[in-house]
Structure 1
Amino acid sequence: MPAPVDMDVLHIILTATSLLCVFSYEITVNSFDLLPCKEDDKVCVTGSGDCVQPPPPLAQKNFNMSCYFKVSLESVTCEWSEKQFSHTAASVSLIFNRQRLHTGPSSCTMTQSLNLTFGYFLSFCTNLFSFRPVKHCPALFVPAERLMITARVRSSSVELWSQPHYVFVYKAVKPAAPELTVIGSTEDSVSVGWSSSGDTRCQLRYRAHSSETWSQSPDFVFTPQNQKHIYSINGLQPFTFYTATVSCSRTVGIWSNWSAGVSVRTLDRAPSKYPQPCYRLDKTDSGGRLHIMWKALDPHDAGGHILGYQVSYRRVMGQQLQDRSVVNVTDEICVLTVDEGTWRVSVAAFNTAGVGPSVNLSVDTRRHRPLSSVRNMWVSCSVPVGTGLWVQWEIPAQPVTHFDVWWRLETNVSSSCWSTVNSSTSSTLIQDVDPMESYLISVVPVYKQQCGPPQSVSASLRLGALMEPTKLKVTGVNQTAVTVMWAWQRRSGPVRVDGYRVTLRSDSYEQTQPLWPDQRQHTFINLTADTEYCLVLWADNSSTHMISVRTEFDQFPVVATAMPLLLLAATVFIVSILSRTMYKGFFYPRVSSPQDSTAGQWLMDSKHQNSTKQNILDIQDFQDVDLLEVKSTIVVEPCCPDPLDRLVIKLSDLRLDAEHDGPAPSTPQQFQCGPSDDEGGTAHHTEQGSQEQAHDAVKRCFGGVADAQITCEGEYVVNASYQERTVVSVTCDTDYLPNVAALT
C-alpha cells in the first residue's frame, strides 16, 4: 500500500471539463518527503508501492509535463493535462531518478492516491543510460542535480506511465513572486516598484477595475540583485482605478507566479469638453419653468472624471447682465424658475480638478414656441429575441435636428445612458441590456438648442413594453360615430406582447386602430346608423375584452320626408287666416264701440261714481246770452277743509268796486251769507242797506275763504248734505258777470 502523503506537501490541483474530459494537475513534492526503495537504491519515492520496474518505452505515454524547482522550499512542482473517458477512482505517484555522469542507476518515487471522476495510475521516473545510487533522498533536490521524473497513474483497471521528463534543477528554478508597491500617480500614469534577490527579468501587467482584460508591458524589465526597480505605466485614464502585478524569472529558468495585485488610482483632470444641452420651457403667468437637459459626458471624451455639472443663469436687461445664479447638480437635468424676459444659461462639467469649458443658451420666454413630443412610441424585443430592445416612434410634423434616446434602470436613477438618432430615423436598437432588469426608456426630439417633452415607456428584455391598456369603455355614440376610451397600467402578466389594437366590426364592416401609450381615446367614424357593432381589444392575436354597441337611429330621412308636408300645411293655415281677415273687413266694416273711447272709459271708472263730491257745470252758464237779463250763481268752495265749505253768491246781490268794467246797477241788490241749517238747507243772512253795507257784507262773507273755488250755476247750489258748514249765497246782477273771474 502506498504511504500517505501530507496535503501540505503534495498539492494536486484538478480542473475538469465534463464535455471534453480534460483534467489539469499541479503536484508539489518537498525534499524531506522522499523515501528510498530497498529493491533499487537509484530510485526515490514517496511510497513503497512505487518501487516497481517501469514498462518498456513503447508502453509509456507523453503527458506533456513541465516541472520547476523552488529554492526556498526545496520542492519540485510538476504540471500536466490529460484526457480520459472513464470515471473510476485512481492514485497518482511520482518517481525520481538521479542522472549519472558515467554508469550506475539511481531512482526515487512519489505516490498519491486520488478519488477522481475518472482516473489512472501515474508515476514519474528518470530513465537515463546510467544512474548513480542515492545515498540520501532528501538531498536530491539541489540546483546542481539532473533529474529524470516519471508520472504513474493507476486504478483498478488502468495503469499508465508517462515518458521521462529531464530536468536540470538549476535551470528549472522558479523564483518567488516579487512584492509590488505603489510609488505614485499622475493624471495619466502610475509608478510602481519591486525588488529581487537575484538578477532577474520581469514583466508587468495591469488592467482597469472596470475591465477583465490585462495589458502587459511591451518589454522585459531587468532587475539587478538586491535593487529596487521603479516602473512607470503611461497612457492611463484620469481618475481611474487600476490593478497591477509583476512576474520575474532568472536569465534561464521558469517565470515566477504573478505577484499580489496592487490597486492605484490616477489623479483627476479638469474636463476638456463641454456638454451639449437643450432647453424646454413650461410657461406660467409670471414667466415659466425652464428645463435644461444634456447628455452625460463620457470620461474618455471629456478628458477627465465628471463629478457633476454647474448650471449658471442670469437675466438680460437691455445691454446689461444681472447678477449670476449658480446651481450644481449631479443628474443630467436641471429645472429653473425664471421670470418673463430674456435669460442666458451656461452649462459646464466639473470635478475635483476644476470646471471645464461651458456652453451658452439664450432663452426668450416671450418669443418661445414649444416643440411637440414624439407620438406612437413603443418598445418591443428585437429579433432574434435577447439581442436588445427595439424602440420605435412617429416623427413629429415640426422640424427636428435629431432625437435623443435615453434609458436607465428603474431601480437606479443615476445609471443613465444616451444615444443620438438622426432626424430621418424613427427607430433604434438598444443593446447590452440586462435581461433580468427593467428599464425606463425615453425619446426626446431636439431642434437646435430646444428640446420637446420626453415620451417614456417601461420595458424589459424578456417582456418588451411593460404597459397594457385596460378599462376599455364606450363614451359616446351617435348615428355615424363611436368614441371609446381606455387607461394604461403596468402589465401584470408574464407574457410578452409586441403590440395592442382595438377593432370595431360588424357583419359588413371592420376598422382597426393600434393603441399607443400617449393615446387615451379614439373615435370610429363613417358608421351606419341603427347598426349593431362589436368592439374588441387585442393583445397581439389574442382578444382580451369585448363590448357590444349600437349606433343611434338616424332621424334625418323622416324629417326630410315630413318637412315639405309641414311647410304646405303651415302655408295653407296662414293663407286661410289672411283670407278670413280680408273677407271680414270687406263684408263687415268695423263699427265704433263707445266703451273703447277715452270718455267712456273715464265715465265707467268706479272712483268717479263713488265720489262724495259733486261738481256740476250747467251748459247754459257757458252760453253767450244777454248779460242784463240772465242771472247766474257762483259757488266758491275752498280746496282744504274750512268752516266755510261752500260759498253761494248771487251775482245780482254783488256790488263791485269802482274799478269794474261794467255799468253799476240801478238799485241795490239782496245778498245772503250764512251756514247750513240742521235740516240740510242753507241758512241765509239777508241784509238791506246801502251799497256800502252790501259791499261790507260781501267782504265779510269772503273774508275767510281767500283760497275758495267759485262755481257758477243757474240759480243756487243746494248744499244740504254738508252740515255744520257756512254757506254764503250771493246774488249779483248779470251786468257784473265778466268781473266774477276776478274773484277767483
Structure 2
Amino acid sequence: MWKDYAVACGEEVTCIKMFSQWSWSVQAMCTLLSIFSFSVSDGLVKMCGYILPEAPVVLPFGSNFTAFCILNDHCSSNVKIHANQIIWKTKNVLVPKEQYHVINQTVSSVTFNDISMLPSPLTCNVLVAGTIEQNIYGIEIQLGFPPEKPKNLSCIVIQTQPNRFIQTCTWELGRDTFLNTNYSLKSKWPDGTLHHCIPQKTKNVCNSSTVVFFVYLEVWVEAKNELGEVESDHIAFDPLYRVKPLPPSNLSVNSGELPTVLKLTWINRLDKQPLVLKYKIRYKTVDSTSWTEVPPEDTDSQRTSFTIQELKPYTKYVFQLRCAINFAQIEYRGNEYEGYWSDWSEEVVGFTAEAKPSKGPAVWRKISTHSPGNWTLELTWKELEPSEANGVILGYEVSVSGRPPLSFPVKVYSHVNATKLILNVHNGTYEVRVTAYNSAGKSPTSVLLVSATNSKAPVKDVVAFPKDGKLWVNWTAPREFVSKYIIEWYEECDSSDCSTEWQQEPGMKHSAFLKGDIKPRKCYTITVIPLYANGQGEGKSTQAYLQQDVPLNGPTVQTKKVGKFEAVLEWKPLSVEEQNGFIKYYTITYNTVTGNKTVVIVNASQTEYPLSSLSSDTLYTVQMAAYTEKGGRNGPQFTFTTKKFGEGEIEAIVVPVCLAFLAFTLLGVLFCFSKRDIIKKHIWPNVPDPSKSVIAQWSPQTPSKQFNSKEQIYPEGSFTDVSVVEIEADDKKSLSEPDLKLFDLLKKEKNASEGHSSGIGGSSCMSSPRQSVSDSDEGEPAQNTSSTVQYSTVVPNGYRDQTPPVQVFSRSESTQPLLDSEERPEDQQVLGSDNSTPKRNYFKQNGNWDEAVTDGSHLEKVKQISPINEEDTAGLYDSQMCGSSSEGNEQGVVLPGAFHSSPEGPPMQFEPIRMNTVTDGEMPKCYLPQTVRQGGYMPQ
C-alpha cells in the first residue's frame, strides 16, 4: 500500500501533474509519502536527509559548532525539496535564520558561536507545501570538559591483620567534566611489569591487596573521556615506608604503691623484622577535656609497657596509646621518612592511690553579739577539692585559743565531721586552727585570726562585672602585706533569708572569679576583706549583676499633692526581684485626653517628682517606666484631676465675703438697736392679753334690758374701738371741777381694771400704740410716755336729753401690743339711759356710724364739752375704727362726740372725727362685739 502511494507520487508518475486538480491537502500527503518512502526489498528506511556530524556529538563548553543538513538525491529530484526550505530547531525552539547558510540545493548549515547554553536535541526540518513542518533528522549534543590532570597522588599501606596489608592510593579529580570519565591507577614494577587498578566505589580511591615490601614502585593515574585523555605525575616509593600499623591491643593500667604513679601494659600487633615501633601515650582526668601527652623521646623504642609519673593522688585517669614504624632505627635508607601513626587505642581508666591532703581547708567566721561582752562565734570552713583532698576526708581537727589579754584556754575538737562549729566566747581576739585528715594523713593547718576590731587597712576600688559567663571581682590591694583575702557575697532579696557565701583567695592576688552558683538577673552584694597576720581590715562592698534584663514590672505612681497648676507624683522603688538590673533612670509620661504626651526623665534615686505648668480642673493620665541597660518596662496608668481653685483662693474669696457679711450684719444690728423703739412700734406692737382683762368684772350702772335679735346691741362683726386720752398733770389744772371729777372717775376705773385684759374677743387689727391716761399726776412720769394702749367702748348712761347719773367708761389697760385688727375693732353699741332700744354710736378711726345721730341738741352738748389738749387727744384723731356691717351706712359721717358730761360739770369738747363707710361685701377685721348688760360686759 505504502509502495503504491510512493510509486504514484514519486517514482513512475509525477504526483503534481497527475493530481494537479487535487486539493492542497492531498498534495501535502503525497509529499510526506515521498519523504518517508522506503524499499521493501532491502528492508531499510530511506530517509530524506541526515546531519553531519553524526550523533552522539560531544562538545566542550564555550566552543563553536557548525552542523550540516544534507538532503538525499531522491528527495531533491522527485519531491522537489530545496535546501532553502530547511529550518533548524533546538529542543523545539526555532533557530534564527541569520545563523542559516544554504550551501547548495541539497545542503544547509547552521552555526553556533557559543554552545554553552545550547539545548539538545538539534533537528533539521522542512516545510511541506509551504506550511506543514516535517522533521528530517536530529542529533543529541553533549557538552562537557576534558579531564583535568589528577593531583596529590598518595599511597598508604594499611595493616588490617597482623600479617595482612592493603595498599590504598588516593588522588584529586579536579573539576567535573559533565561527561563519563574513566580513571585507572597504574603501578610499574622494577622489572617492567605493569599493574592496573580500576576504582570501584569512588573515582579517586583505588585499593590493592598485592603488597611487596623492599621493592620500589612507580605509580600514576590516567583519566580519559570523549574530549581527551590525561595522566598524573609519577611517584616512586617502597610500600614499607607507607605502612600504617594497627594500634596496640590489651591495654591495661596498674596502680603502684606511690599515689602519683600508674603503669601501662599492652601487646604490639606488628612484629615483622626488621621493623621497629615507636609510641605516643596520652592521658587526662575523667572530668577534663584536654589531654596530656608523654614526651616522644621517652617512648621511641620498642616496648610493651610504660610507667607514668607525677599524677595526682586519688584521681581517676583515662589513657590512650598508638604506634608507628621507627625508620630511624632501621638500616635501610629510611632515615628521611616519618611513617604513618596508627589509630588511637581504646580508652582505659585507672585510679591513683590516696595521699595526705595537700592543702588545709579555707576558714572563715561569723560573729553574733547577744549580750554585752559575749560572742556567738560561728566557724565555717570549705570542703577541699578532690585534687586537694587526695582521698576521702574522714574528719577535721579544730583548736581555738585566746590571744592576750584573754585567758581563754586552748580548746581542741579532734573529730569534727561537719564543716561548721559554733562557740560561745567572750569578746576578744582568738586564733583558730583547722586541719583535715584522711586515711593517708593530715593536711597542712589553716590558721584564722578572729579579731575584735577591724583595725587594719581595707582594700580600695572594689568593682565587679560579668566576664566569660562569670562574675569577675577586682580590687586594689593595700600597701601592707596581706596573707589572704576573703570574698563574701550574697543575693539581694526582700526577705531576711539571704544566705551568704564566701571564698578565700591568696594574698598576692587582686582579682578573682566568684566560684559559687551565680544566677542571671540577680543582684549580688560582694565584699572583699583583707586578712593580715596580726589582724584584718574592714570589708569594702560593691553590687553587680551577672546578666541584666528589662525590669519585671514598672513603677506604680500616685499623687502626693495636687494643686491647680501643679502636682507632686510619688512612687515606691521597685523591689529587688522586680528590677532585673540596675535602674538607670525613670521616665514619666503624662497627657490629657486631647493633649500631646509629655515625657520627663527622672533620676533613679528619686521617689517623687513635681509636675508644673498643668491646666486647672483637667484630667491627666500618668504612666511611669523604669529602665535598665537592657531596656525599660511601663507601670500601670494612673489618672488625677487638677483642682479648680488654687491653694488660698477660696479663702481669699470666702473670708472677705464673710467679713463683709459680718460687718453688714453688725451694722444692721447696731442700726436696729438704735431704732428699737421705731422697730418695736412697727414690728412688735403691744398686744393685750385677753385672759388677764377685768373688763368682764366692770359693770356700768345701767339697767338691764332684753333685746330682740333684730336690735342686737352689737351686731355681728361690729364693736367700737375707743382711744383713751392721757391727761397730764398740767392739763388737770386747767380743767373745771366737773371735768376733774370725770377724769378721776376714769382713773378709778383704770386702776380697778389694771392687770386685766379687756373682755373683747376675736382678732384685732394692727395699729400704732396709743397714749394712756396717767395713773397719777406726778408720781409715775415714766408712764406718761409709755406705749400702754387702752381700748374700750364708752357707754354713756343716758341718751339724748337724759342725763346719766355717772359717766362710765368701759376700757382695758393691758400693756400687751395690739394686733392690727385690734386697733380697728368693729362697731360698738351704745345703750340708751332708759335701757330702751339701743342706739349704735360707733367711735373709731376710719369707721362708719351705723346709725346717724339726729338729735341736734345732743350734738350741741357734745360740742360744748370743754376742750382737751391736742397732744392728749392725738391718739383719738389718729385711731382707726373697724368698718361697720350695719345696713345703710355708705357714707362717712361726723362723730359729734363720744362722751356726755354730767349736768353739773362743764361740757368736754372733742373734735369731730370723720368716719368712712363700709360696704356690706367687705369683711371687717376687728373684734367681735360685746353685749353690754346691766352689771357689766358679758364676755364672748
The two structures have a TM-score, normalised by structure 1, of: 0.45
TM-score (norm 2): 0.37
Q: Return the index of the structure with the highest Cα Rg.
A: 2
